[in-house]
Amino acid sequence: MIDIIFTPIPTSVAQNWWEGGPDEHGNPLETRISDGGAPCRHCLKNIKEGKLVLLGAYKPFSSTGHFAETGPIFICSDPCERFAGEKISSHR
Ligand SMILES: [Zn+2]
């Protein structure tokens, strides 16, 4: 059994993005239309098909180690409530 733990991004990061701030690389966020499979990394819900989403690069690690990657994430285009705690998905 493998558990995958999803930790929501800090609200301060999401708030900065909702206010037009840049992503991890200093680029403006991209607005897209969800195909129904875009998970919001703040509320941890799938963003419904047809809804606007923000796409940007995010680095969840404070270290600069070899595995401290930066990757693309989606968040709801309108402010949403941060998921409380961590979401655990168990797989065999
Ligand atoms: Zn959301």
- Residue 43 Cα, ligand 1 centroid: separation in angstroms? 4
Domain boundaries, the chain: 2-91
Q: Judge whether residue 92 has pLDDT over 90.
A: no
- Residue 63 Cα, ligand 1 centroid: separation in angstroms? 26
The answer to whether 34 and 47 have CB atoms below 8 angstroms apart is yes
Q: How far apart are CA 11 and CA 42, in angstroms?
A: 7
The residue with greater pLDDT, 6 or 73, is: 73
Q: Tell me: the pLDDT tens digits for 73-88?
A: 999 999 999 999 877 8
- Residue 81 Cα, ligand 1 centroid: separation in angstroms? 7
Q: Tell me: the pLDDT tens digits for 21-80?
A: 999 999 999 999 999 988 999 999 999 999 999 999 999 888 888 888 999 999 999 999
- Residue 85 Cα, ligand 1 centroid: separation in angstroms? 14
- Looking up tokens 């402010």 gives 79
The predicted model scores a pTM of 0.87
- Residue 87 Cα, ligand 1 centroid: separation in angstroms? 14
